[in-house]
Chain A
Amino acid sequence: MNSDVKKRLLREMLFARRFEERCYEAYVERKIGGFLHLYPGEEACAHGVLEAANCGHDYVITSYRDHVHAIKCGVDPKAVMAELFAKEAGCCKGLGGSMHIFGVEHRFMGGYALVGGPFPLAAGIAKGIQMKKGNEICICFLGDAANNQGTFHESLNMAKLWNLPVLYVCENNLYGIGTRIDRSTAVVDQYKRVSSYNIPSNQVNGQDVELVYEAATQAIEHVRSGKGPYFLELMTYRFRGHSMSDSNAYRPKNEERVWGKRDPVIMFRDRLIETGEITQEDFKNMDNEILEEIEQEIIRFADESQEPSMELLDKYVLVENDPYVTGGSR
């Protein structure tokens, strides 16, 4: 990774942090409704993996903690924020919300709110790639707790059986909503669980974006070269509760302190300062620019966008004017 790439990645991760923090404030201001699951603490996971992928070409799918993945794939942050504000200029016209961000033109295939739901969808996207003889891969990001769904096992089995080009990325943040992993899961190391399907796997520190990038590069190379699925476990931690309605009372303070010192943005910043690639001043300027952009462009855009029209309600329940519905032909 050259210096320019590192600086850009740092900026993107800092942007993701500030974007999510601003979402928190907007939620408190009641501009964002429903459930809101934020990403601070886990930025190195999405950025490290997707930096190694070919965004816009490879397909990406994830869970309800999806804003940052969408933005890294190329979805306009203004359209994401407008979606959170439930406006018509939102990426899903205000019909999706925080848990359902989509950016299909960037091959971001969406955020899904049933834990473990995207496992088979990702295998299916990979099946579609295989049938179209493309060289894309599908990357599926899910949390550790999703691995206790049946879809985890069903999908790994089929992905291996049919040699599908899918990379499963497990963002292991140690908690399934409010239950610590060792209280819900017999095998705590998630990468070990896929060995029963003969799928190669790796476990790395998910707070270090460079380590994630390296591991993801290898994983993606494996999948793209036609060798079938791969499972990458990233050890991470979310700095906030599961969602905004989570009091976060279940985590020991000491644990939070320890992980707080492994802040992926701060760690990467300090490393780049140490190597002389940036200065403290550069970082401050970068931060100010980002804060300004979020406030002046993104929040303003979302605020000033229109409410969706009632006509949207009927428009997307079923596909409009499909000739085969009436037995006609195209």
Chain B
Amino acid sequence: MSKMMFWEAIQRAYDEEMTNDSLVFCMGEDIGVAGGTYKATKGLYEKFGSERVMDTPISENGFTGLGIGASFLNVRPIIEIMSVNFSWLAMDQMFNTAAKVHFMSGGQLKAPIVVRSPGGTAHQLGAQHSARMEKVFMGIAGLRVVTPSNPRQAYGLLKSAVRCDDPVFIYEHELMYNMQGEVPDTEYFHPLIGSEIARPGGDITLFGYNISVHWCLQAAETLSKQHGIEAEVIDLYALSPLDREGIVQSVSKTHRAVIVEEAEPAVGVGAEVMAIINEECFYELDAPPVRVSAANVPIPYNHTLEKSVIPNAQDVTAAVLKVFGQ
């Protein structure tokens, strides 16, 4: 194990996968000569050249479609969409083609693409650069959606996504690229399904993914130290398909659940996890599940207002105390 930053872990996965297979290539805006907005592709252009590290025009739907077409020949593109807000433009190709072509061709074609895109609310980026879009992608059959919460996952999920024959969307967070964490020194492929117990506990389950795992972990510490409540934190790194079994297992142990998401509540991860709990283990519950979500508004520019609409660890702590009637 060695410590590295989130962006370094991604860059290492690129480097290894492109070295391993000459048919892996990457594309995106500013990823080559400029080295990538968040440095995830730093040094690759110099090492692998312009044919395999392609600076694209600002044509998200076009270059995503181009990547999908290339993947029909088992050439494997890793497509970076600079901001998840721009990925809306590529939804046509991702949803209408990549997610459906294996099915509608009766299994004849596969679209083994990887699309990585950073999103979330950073600092005062305004309404059109602060989207949290995971809910949209996880609702589409035929697409895998994963989201790393630490450098180890960022590395291992990208490695598996490149080799997996399905189209995989990787949702990253703009605030997390400089986060440090342990990454195995040897090659490591992270599963694209399942969930992880980020912190074991017996009193309540906190479900988080991506940045909200960290809010859950902070809240769990406060709850343990100040209130004697031991929260289990489940990291839902796989958003589609969601880990039904893992969700049921934890709730059956703790009998209480809080789901924490950075996105607006409607039709989101919280709603989906609650539905799974309802369908699979309703009678295990000692209290109604609760979700902690963003306010249902576009993200404001003003920093005080911006902070007020996005949840944090204190909101998670407060929600848990409420579940316990405190």
| Contact surface of A with B, Cβ cutoff 8 Å | 61, 90-97, 100, 102-105, 109-110, 112-114, 117, 119-132, 150-151, 154-155, 157-158, 161-162, 312, 315-319, 322, 324-330
Q: How many Å lie between the Cα of A317 and that of B103 in the bound state? A: 5
Contacting residues, chain A, for B110 (C-beta < 8 A): 319
| Contact surface of B with A, Cβ cutoff 8 Å | 22-23, 25, 51-52, 54, 56-57, 59, 61-75, 92-93, 96-97, 101-110, 141-142, 144, 156, 160-161, 163-166, 189-193
Contacting residues, chain A, for B52 (C-beta < 8 A): 131
- A120:B109 contact, CB within 8 angstroms: no
List 7 A-B residue pairs with CB atoms under 8 Å apart, sorted by A's residue number: A102-B108, A124-B69, A127-B66, A128-B74, A155-B62, A324-B160, A325-B192
Partner of B109, one of A102, A117, A324: A102
Q: A120-B93, A154-B62, A158-B57 are in contact. List 18 more A-B contacts (CB 8 A).
A: A114-B97, A117-B92, A122-B69, A123-B65, A128-B73, A130-B51, A131-B75, A150-B62, A154-B63, A155-B62, A157-B62, A162-B54, A316-B107, A317-B141, A324-B163, A324-B189, A325-B164, A325-B193
**Distance to closest chain A CB from B108 (angstroms):** 4
- Residue of A whose beta carbon sits closest to that of B189: A327
Contacting residues, chain B, for A315 (C-beta < 8 A): 107
**Distance to closest chain A CB from B176 (angstroms):** 22
Q: How many Å lie between the Cα of A206 and that of B116 in the bound state? A: 43
- Residue of A whose beta carbon sits closest to that of B190: A327
Q: How many Å lie between the Cα of A120 and that of B23 in the bound state? A: 19
- B165:A322 contact, CB within 8 angstroms: yes
Partner of A325, one of B68, B72, B191: B191
Q: How many Å lie between the Cα of A121 and that of B66 in the bound state? A: 5
- B164:A150 contact, CB within 8 angstroms: no
Contacting residues, chain B, for A319 (C-beta < 8 A): 102, 110, 164-166
Please list the 7 inter-chain residue pairs (A to B) with the smallest Cβ-Cβ separation, ordered nearest first.
A124-B69, A154-B62, A120-B65, A128-B73, A92-B106, A121-B69, A154-B59
Contacting residues, chain B, for A112 (C-beta < 8 A): 96-97
- A93:B193 contact, CB within 8 angstroms: no
Q: How many Å lie between the Cα of A102 and that of B109 in the bound state? A: 9
Contacting residues, chain A, for B191 (C-beta < 8 A): 325-327
- A95:B104 contact, CB within 8 angstroms: yes
Partner of A324, one of B54, B66, B142, B164: B164
Contacting residues, chain A, for B93 (C-beta < 8 A): 117, 120-121
- A119:B65 contact, CB within 8 angstroms: yes
Contacting residues, chain B, for A131 (C-beta < 8 A): 22-23, 25, 51-52, 70, 75
Q: How many Å lie between the Cα of A50 and that of B141 in the bound state? A: 35
Q: How many Å lie between the Cα of A94 and that of B164 in the bound state? A: 26
Contacting residues, chain A, for B63 (C-beta < 8 A): 120, 154, 158
Contacting residues, chain A, for B101 (C-beta < 8 A): 110
- Residue of A whose beta carbon sits closest to that of B58: A154
- Residue of A whose beta carbon sits closest to that of B141: A317
- B109:A110 contact, CB within 8 angstroms: yes
Q: How many Å lie between the Cα of A315 and that of B106 in the bound state? A: 9
Q: How many Å lie between the Cα of A128 and that of B65 in the bound state? A: 13
**Distance to closest chain B CB from A184 (angstroms):** 20
**Distance to closest chain A CB from B237 (angstroms):** 11
- B109:A155 contact, CB within 8 angstroms: no
Q: How many Å lie between the Cα of A110 and that of B64 in the bound state? A: 18
- A151:B62 contact, CB within 8 angstroms: yes
